[in-house]
Amino acid sequence: MSVVGAQPFIKPMQSPPSVSPGIQRRHTLPASEVRPLNTQDAISVFEIEREAFISVSGECPLHLDEVRHFLTLCPELSMGWFEEGRLVAFIIGSLWDQDRLTTEALTLHKPCGSTVHIHVLAVHRTFRQQGKGPILMWRYLQYLRCLPNVRRAVLMCEDFLIPFYRKSGFKVLGRCAITVANLTFTEMWYPISGHAYMRRNSEAIRFPQHPLTVPLTKTDERVDV
């Protein structure tokens, strides 16, 4: 998948100032940062997901092997929020090439697709009720605007989550054809067009070949979606 369109997000790295080893160790991890996930994050991802979903619906959107599967095939469509090196929230997506989701969309990544299927958004229990879910979704959708072949994002959710995703700009498509055990879902979509909103003096995300991670700013913390 081409990521040339993400280049406006890239900011050259500056050499860190020379400091003593003791001081440098204390500043190794930024207080808050966003970066793409990789397979080494899979266990942390699954632990957060399992706790978030099993207690509510009894089912996980992605099992551990499926998390590893998507983080291998399309890590550039994932996003993790880290606090001092600890994963506190994440999104995992893949590409899809049809108008509506089918059962195949749960496990397949279609590199030529123009739709991003958002499989899961989850927040660690310790960090809930702090607005991290909406903020991370906002940043993710802004990032998708930089991918030239992406035209929309879709997801499926239980009905009680519809108001949450509506606040992020998603619209209801209708009942989803996919069922899991006794669970039924509503399919929602978000149009991806134009260029990412860039604020002066703000830093954004570098994806995917460039592993630089970028701290969240106080402006991001105030995003109201």
For 185-215, the pLDDT digits (tens) are: 999 999 997 655 543 333 444 444 333 344 5
Residue 136 is among the residues annotated as catalytic for this protein: no
Q: Which amino acid is at 4?
A: V
Dihedral (CA of 121, 126, 127, 128) sign:
positive
Residue 108 is among the residues annotated as catalytic for this protein: yes
- The answer to whether residue 211 is domain-embedded is no
- The answer to whether residue 64 is domain-embedded is yes
pLDDT at 78 over 60: yes
Crossing angle of the two packed helices 64-73 and 42-54, in degrees rounded to 10: 130
- The answer to whether residue 107 is domain-embedded is yes
- The answer to whether residue 183 is domain-embedded is no
The residue range of the domain holding 36 is: 32-150
- Number of domains forming the structure of the chain: 1
For 85-109, the pLDDT digits (tens) are: 999 999 999 999 999 999 999 999 9
Of 37-51, 143-157, 158-172, 196-210, the one with minimum mean pLDDT is 196-210
Please report, for the domain that includes residue 100, its CATH number: 3.40.630.30
- The answer to whether residue 218 is domain-embedded is no
Residue 109 is among the residues annotated as catalytic for this protein: no
- The answer to whether residue 163 is domain-embedded is no
Selected catalytic residue, list 95, 140, 144, 165: 165
Selected catalytic residue, list 69, 109, 117, 119: 119
Selected catalytic residue, list 32, 44, 78, 94: 94
- The answer to whether residue 146 is domain-embedded is yes
Residue 143 is among the residues annotated as catalytic for this protein: no
